[in-house]
């Protein structure tokens, strides 16, 4: 209960109105609730890499652990240098984040004031509304087309109050993806005073020929920010490290509003090592393609529809997301409900290892009462 003298009631209305982010249910939590053995629970709820981290990243963490009494390098010199040479950009064009979520937050801190507008698509990543509303800015939600971004409609939604446009490519939770030609045409048409954020958290999962070239567009479009992460294909979700690539003048602004030590030293060391382990990333992408085919084939056998995905997850139409989510939980399988994304008929399942995918498919069959569930 809130009464007038309590501080919470004096917080800005736009903060009090924020709908909290709902993360995937942790394994330990479900184990406690249902008295299950955590080892028997399968979590396919947060688009994490199911293969475990790169041994090179683990070794780098062990080495860096000896130095944790020191503050991390607030400029992230070594990681930014490694990224700069990998991406072919100047280190001044890079902003490191405590996860790429942090970079998205920094964009809103640097560019949005109360009353400004940020544009994003219906069913787009939940952090865009969160970060926008936290600044007192207005989120302009553009209806999706075939579950994906309707770029012409997003362009038409730009007004003199628009400061930022967010596009997730591929998008989470829908898995939809836009090719380079359409994407660049969109960026070219957005007025230069409006920042375009291309969130490419799943880029490494695309076929090599489809991986984004958007970083090479920044020279032409200084209002473009490309964000990437070490949380997905690089397998470092718990360490919280991501980055944005942008014009040096924009990076300078974001670096002013970020915390001086926003990326910890273990994360910096692990990210450098992970970046150097190309084989780990490629094997993760390969294993994901195989798992994706396995789940797609299983769903087809069950007669369950899904949205074709370019990420490491699949949006599955189960008819009643809440009911099937609960049934899967009782079966020890955690997936992600997406009613909060306006998709109550769907569940999002992360591609796991073959045995995990099989557990999911069998549990889904049971939850849907399919005759072949016990086959
Ligand atoms: C997972 C994800 C991110 C990455 O978040 P981190 O903060 O880097 O862990 C960013 N954008 C989208 C669309 C995602 O799905």
Q: What is the pLDDT of residues 158-196, one digit of tens each?
A: 999 999 999 999 999 999 999 999 999 999 999 999 999
Give the Å distance between the CA of 71 and the centre of ligand 1.
25
Q: Which residues line ligand 1 (CB under 6 A)?
A: 47, 99-101, 125, 168, 172, 199, 201, 229, 231-232, 237, 242
Q: Which CATH number fits domain 11-52+279-368: 3.20.20.70, 3.10.290.10, 3.90.1150.10, 3.40.50.2000?
A: 3.90.1150.10
pLDDT at 269 over 90: yes
Task: Work out the pLDDT band at 8, boundaries 50, 70, 90.
Answer: confident
Give residue limits of the domains in the chain. Answer: 11-52+279-368, 55-277
The pick from 231, 236, 315 for probing ligand 1's pocket by mutation, whose C-beta has the most ligand atoms within 8 angstroms, reads 231
pLDDT, position 7: 87
User: Which of 12-16, 173-177, 239-243, 365-369 is predicted least confidently?
Assistant: 12-16
d(CA 108, CA 112): 5
Q: What is the pLDDT of residues 79-106, one digit of tens each?
A: 999 999 999 999 999 999 999 999 999 9
The predicted model gives 272-281 an average pLDDT of 97
* Phi, psi angles (nearest 5°) of residue 204: -65, -20
Task: Work out the pLDDT band at 372, boundaries 50, 70, 90.
Answer: very low
**Quick one: which atom of ligand 1 is closest to the CA of 98?**
7
d(CA 237, CA 228): 12
Task: Work out the pLDDT band at 336, boundaries 50, 70, 90.
Answer: very high
**Quick one: which atom of ligand 1 is closest to the CA of 230?**
8
d(CA 137, CA 134): 7
Give the Å distance between the CA of 35 and the centre of ligand 1.
31
Task: Work out the pLDDT band at 258, boundaries 50, 70, 90.
Answer: very high
The pick from 128, 201, 309 for probing ligand 1's pocket by mutation, whose C-beta has the most ligand atoms within 8 angstroms, reads 201
% pLDDT > 70, the chain: 97
Contact 201, 228 (CB under 8 A): yes
d(CA 283, CA 235): 12
Checking DSSP bridges between strand 94-97 and strand 305-307, what pairing results, if any? unpaired
Specify the higher pLDDT residue, 373 or 279: 279
Give the Å distance between the CA of 236 and the centre of ligand 1.
12
pLDDT, position 373: 45
User: Which of 15-19, 176-180, 317-321, 368-372 is predicted least confidently?
Assistant: 368-372
Task: Please provide the DSSP assignment of 302-342 as one string.
Answer: HT-EEE--SSSEEEEE-S-HHHHHHHHHHTTEE-EE-GGGT
Contact 192, 222 (CB under 8 A): yes
pLDDT, position 227: 98
* Residue with token string 């230069």: 192
> Is 55-277 a domain of CATH 3.40.640.10?
yes
Q: Where are the beta strands (DSSP E) in 85-208?
A: 94-97, 117-121, 138-142, 162-168, 195-199
pLDDT at 213 over 50: yes
Give the Å distance between the CA of 297 and the centre of ligand 1.
27
Q: Write out the two tokens for 28.
A: 């330990």
Task: Supply the residue whose CA is at minimum distance from atom 2 of ligand 1.
Answer: 201
**Quick one: which atom of ligand 1 is closest to the CA of 125?**
13
Q: What angle in degrees, to the nearest 10, is found between the helix axes of 77-87 and 265-275?
A: 30
The pick from 199, 205, 351 for probing ligand 1's pocket by mutation, whose C-beta has the most ligand atoms within 8 angstroms, reads 199
% pLDDT > 90, the chain: 93
135-144: string of b/e by CB count within 10 Å (b at 16+)? bbbbebbbeb
Contact residues for 128 (Cβ-Cβ < 8 A; gap 6+): 104, 118, 120, 139, 166
Would you give the DSSP letter of residue 145?
Answer: B
pLDDT, position 322: 97
Our CA angle for 91, 96, 102, nearest 5°, is 150
Give the Å distance between the CA of 90 and the centre of ligand 1.
24
pLDDT at 1 over 60: no
The predicted model gives 231-257 an average pLDDT of 98
Give the Å distance between the CA of 220 and the centre of ligand 1.
26
| Cα distances (angstroms) measured from residue 132 to each of 50, 101, 137, 193, 205 | 31, 12, 6, 17, 28
pLDDT, position 24: 87
d(CA 238, CA 193): 35
Give the Å distance between the CA of 199 and the centre of ligand 1.
8
d(CA 257, CA 109): 7
Longest Cα separation, the chain: 62
d(CA 271, CA 233): 12
**Quick one: which atom of ligand 1 is closest to the CA of 103?**
7
Contact 234, 279 (CB under 8 A): no
Give the Å distance between the CA of 108 and the centre of ligand 1.
16
pLDDT, position 374: 44
Mapping DSSP to helix (H, G, I), strand (E, B) and coil, where does residue 178 land? coil
User: Which of 1-15, 240-254, 323-337 is predicted least confidently?
Assistant: 1-15
Beta bridge partners of 316: 306, 347
pLDDT at 2 over 70: no
pLDDT, position 339: 96
Give the Å distance between the CA of 29 and the centre of ligand 1.
22
**Quick one: which atom of ligand 1 is closest to the CA of 47?**
1
Q: Write out the two tokens for 119.
A: 């544009």
Q: What is the pLDDT of residues 344-363, one digit of tens each?
A: 999 999 999 999 999 999 99
* Residue with token string 């030293």: 265
Give the Å distance between the CA of 225 and the centre of ligand 1.
15
Q: How many CA atoms lie within 13 A of 175 on its CB side?
A: 21
Instruction: State the first-to-last Cα distance of the chain, in angstroms, to the nearest integer.
Output: 52
User: Which of 13-22, 77-86, 137-146 is predicted least confidently?
Assistant: 13-22
Task: Supply the residue whose CA is at minimum distance from atom 14 of ligand 1.
Answer: 201
């Amino acid at each position: 209960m809130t009464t007038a003298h309590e501080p919470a009631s004096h917080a800005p209305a736009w903060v009090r109105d924020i709908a909290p982010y709902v993360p995937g249910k942790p394994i330990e939590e479900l184990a406690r609730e249902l008295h299950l053995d955590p080892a028997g629970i399968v979590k396919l709820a947060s688009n994490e890499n199911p293969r475990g981290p790169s041994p090179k990243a683990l070794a780098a963490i062990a080495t860096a652990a000896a130095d944790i009494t020191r503050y991390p390098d607030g400029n992230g010199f070594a990681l930014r240098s490694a990224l700069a040479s990998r991406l072919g950009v100047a280190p001044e064009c890079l902003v490191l984040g405590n996860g790429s979520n942090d970079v998205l937050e920094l964009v809103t801190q640097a560019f949005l004031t109360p009353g400004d507008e940020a544009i994003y698509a219906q069913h787009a990543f939940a952090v865009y509304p969160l970060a926008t509303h936290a600044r007192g800015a207005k989120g302009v939600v553009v209806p999706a087309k075939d579950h994906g971004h309707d770029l012409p409609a997003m362009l038409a939604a730009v007004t003199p109050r628009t400061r930022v446009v967010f596009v997730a490519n591929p998008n989470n939770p829908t898995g939809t993806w836009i090719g380079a030609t359409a994407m660049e045409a969109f960026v070219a048409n957005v007025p230069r005073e409006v920042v375009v954020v291309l969130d490419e958290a799943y880029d490494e999962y695309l076929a090599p020929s489809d991986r984004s070239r958007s970083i090479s567009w920044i020279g032409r479009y200084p209002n473009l920010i490309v964000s990437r992460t070490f949380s997905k294909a690089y397998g470092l979700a718990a360490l919280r490290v991501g980055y944005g690539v942008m014009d040096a003048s924009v990076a300078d602004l974001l670096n002013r509003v970020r915390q001086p030590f926003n990326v910890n030293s273990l994360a910096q060391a692990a990210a450098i090592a992970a970046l150097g382990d190309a084989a780990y990333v490629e094997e993760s992408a390969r294993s994901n393609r195989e798992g994706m085919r396995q789940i797609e084939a299983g769903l087809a056998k069950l007669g369950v529809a899904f949205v074709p995905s370019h990420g490491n997850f699949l949006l599955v139409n189960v008819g009643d997301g809440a009911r099937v989510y609960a049934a899967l939980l009782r079966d020890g399988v955690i997936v992600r409900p997406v009613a909060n994304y306006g998709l109550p008929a769907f569940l999002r399942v992360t591609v796991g290892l073959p045995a995990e995918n099989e557990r999911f498919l069998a549990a889904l069959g049971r939850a849907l009462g399919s005759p072949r569930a016990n086959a």
